[in-house]
């Protein structure tokens, strides 16, 4: 009998397990992979501030540190942004193989049981909580728990079984492909983003340096408008840019770009991270919000146990916390994503040209928007939609 079972040892699950175990809960964290953190389905970028909020920085899992982002319009116009204003994915490039394991270790150190190579198959309700069915090495058994946290990623089985989320449409998910490449000739002080409807329909390509001339080189596209699989766009991007280097790893994965869900809870159950579609609809970045959601869910779990109240009414406190933290940003960036989808390549070029070379790190967001609209008055109608 546990107070809390957490499914998935990604950043969201390990942070939830750590936070609740620190508050004295009897926690089980289960992870279906045999090694936490591998394979890495991530470009591993995160802002320094987002990371420092939740963990003490340890150089062991920092692959590199950048000072800003370089964004390229379809015609090659470059916009340089300082790290502080470049968003949640720019600052550090992690070594997630080590980072995710470190977080799970912190959860274990706080007192959580951690079972790897253990898949949660489902759950059923009992008179005083839940029974969670688990499978390890062909053996199946059940554990009882008062609370369940689904931190089981974008394809969350827990979320769908609980009826909290529905399967995403092709326009609500980014399909991604990424190589880890080595022997590259790049300035490792920046992360690089490449835009264009031909290049990456509904998404963008990226190069995130990992030190020692290696980098994550990847692409995300919106399957509802893409004409071929993400990997084909990635190969075309590498060829177009003339990127020379050796491919040492390949991963494919998906990122929810849904926006804000109405609720991430039901009786006895909370969802966090990608399972609750918490990733950013513009960038697809989800580590920062996963950490934050895991933290809030862990806190509310401990309050629920203290009050012996696992009702949806009580757990809505978790909704309040994550929504106050980053819900507004999810809503705003969903609108921004829809706005960007309406822009053709010449407009993207014109937007980039109107701020290229300006010291945008010294400008407020409002000043940037005014500058963009001054140079591109035809966008005012679209902006009105965005602000409505």
Ligand X SMILES: Cc1cc2nc3c(=O)[nH]c(=O)nc-3n(C[C@H](O)[C@H](O)[C@H](O)COP(=O)(O)OP(=O)(O)OC[C@H]3O[C@@H](n4cnc5c(N)ncnc54)[C@H](O)[C@@H]3O)c2cc1C
List, in sequence order, the alpha helices (H) in 53-134.
96-109
Nearer to ligand X, 74 or 218 (CB): 218
- Interface region with ligand X, contact rule CB under 6 A, candidates 242-250, 277-285, 346-354, 365-373: 277-285
- For position 284 contacting ligand X by CB under 6 A, the verdict is yes
- For position 259 contacting ligand X by CB under 6 A, the verdict is no
Exactly one of 8, 209, 245, 298 binds ligand X (CB under 6 A); which one?
A: 8
E strand map for the chain: 2-7, 27-30, 45-46, 62-65, 68-72, 78-82, 92-94, 113-115, 118-126, 129-136, 139-150, 173-182, 190-194, 204-211, 214-221, 246-256, 265-266, 269-271
Binding string, residues 190-219; x marks residues near ligand X by CB under 6 A: ----------------------------x-
Residues 13-52 that bind ligand X (CB under 6 A): 13, 30-33, 41-46
Nearer to ligand X, 43 or 351 (CB): 43
Nearer to ligand X, 32 or 210 (CB): 32
Exactly one of 68, 202, 245, 286 binds ligand X (CB under 6 A); which one?
A: 286
CA distance 186 to 203: 22
Exactly one of 3, 83, 89, 319 binds ligand X (CB under 6 A); which one?
A: 89
Count interface residues toward ligand X (CB under 6 A): 39
- For position 274 contacting ligand X by CB under 6 A, the verdict is yes
Residue 58: burial class (beta carbons within 10 Å; 0-12, 13-18, 19+): exposed
Exactly one of 4, 6, 10, 302 binds ligand X (CB under 6 A); which one?
A: 10
- For position 260 contacting ligand X by CB under 6 A, the verdict is no
Cis bond upstream, residue 84 (ω within 30): no
CA distance 318 to 166: 20
Binding string, residues 154-193; x marks residues near ligand X by CB under 6 A: ---x------------------x-x---------------
**Residue 39 DSSP symbol:** S
- Interface region with ligand X, contact rule CB under 6 A, candidates 52-60, 237-245, 285-293, 332-340: 285-293
- Interface region with ligand X, contact rule CB under 6 A, candidates 2-10, 258-266, 319-327, 358-366: 2-10
Cβ contact 204:219 at 8 Å: yes
113-128: buried (b, 16+ CB within 10 Å) or exposed (e) per residue? bbbeebbbeebeeeee
354-386: buried (b, 16+ CB within 10 Å) or exposed (e) per residue? bbeeeebeeeeeeebeebbbeebeebeebeeee
DSSP, collapsed to helix, strand or coil, labels residue 53 as coil
- For position 87 contacting ligand X by CB under 6 A, the verdict is no
Q: Where does this chain bind ligand X (CB under 6 A)? A: 7-13, 30-33, 41-46, 89, 119-120, 151-153, 157, 176, 178, 218, 253, 255, 273-275, 279, 284-288, 290
């Amino acid at each position: 009998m546990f107070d809390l079972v957490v499914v998935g040892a990604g950043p969201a699950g390990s942070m939830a397990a750590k936070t609740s175990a620190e508050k004295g809960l009897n926690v089980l964290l289960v992870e279906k992979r045999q090694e936490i953190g591998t394979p890495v389905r991530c470009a591993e970028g995160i802002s320094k501030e987002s990371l420092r909020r939740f963990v003490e920085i340890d150089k062991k899992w920092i692959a590199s540190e950048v000072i800003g982002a370089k964004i390229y319009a379809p015609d090659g116009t470059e916009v340089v942004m300082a790290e502080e204003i470049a968003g949640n994915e720019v600052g550090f490039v992690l070594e997630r193989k080590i980072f995710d394991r470190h977080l799970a270790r912190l959860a274990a150190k706080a007192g959580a049981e951690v079972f790897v190579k253990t898949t949660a198959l489902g759950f059923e309700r009992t008179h005083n909580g839940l029974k969670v069915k688990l499978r390890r090495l062909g053996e199946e058994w059940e554990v009882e728990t008062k609370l369940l946290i689904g931190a089981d990623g974008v394809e969350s089985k827990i979320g769908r079984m609980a009826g909290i989320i529905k399967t995403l449409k092709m326009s609500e998910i980014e399909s991604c492909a990424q190589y880890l490449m080595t022997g590259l000739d790049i300035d490792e002080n920046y992360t690089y983003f490449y835009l264009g409807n031909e290049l990456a329909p509904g998404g963008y390509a990226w190069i995130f340096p990992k030190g020692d001339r290696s980098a994550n080189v990847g692409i995300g596209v919106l399957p509802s408008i893409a004409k071929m699989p993400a990997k084909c766009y990635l190969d075309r991007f590498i060829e177009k840019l003339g990127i020379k280097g050796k491919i040492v790893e390949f991963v494919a994965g998906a990122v929810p770009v849904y926006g804000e869900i109405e609720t991430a809870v039901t009786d006895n159950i909370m969802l966090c991270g990608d399972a609750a579609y918490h990733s950013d609809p513009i960038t697809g970045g989800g580590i920062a919000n996963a950490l934050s959601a895991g933290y809030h869910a862990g806190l509310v779990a401990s309050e629920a146990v203290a009050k012996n109240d696992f009702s949806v009414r009580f757990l809505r406190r978790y909704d309040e916390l994550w929504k106050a933290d980053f819900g507004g940003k999810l809503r705003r960036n969903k609108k921004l994503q829809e706005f960007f989808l309406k822009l053709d390549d010449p407009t993207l070029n014109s937007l980039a040209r109107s701020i290229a070379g300006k010291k945008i790190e010294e400008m407020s967001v409002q000043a940037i928007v005014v500058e963009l609209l001054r140079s591109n008055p035809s966008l005012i109608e679209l902006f009105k939609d965005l602000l409505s």
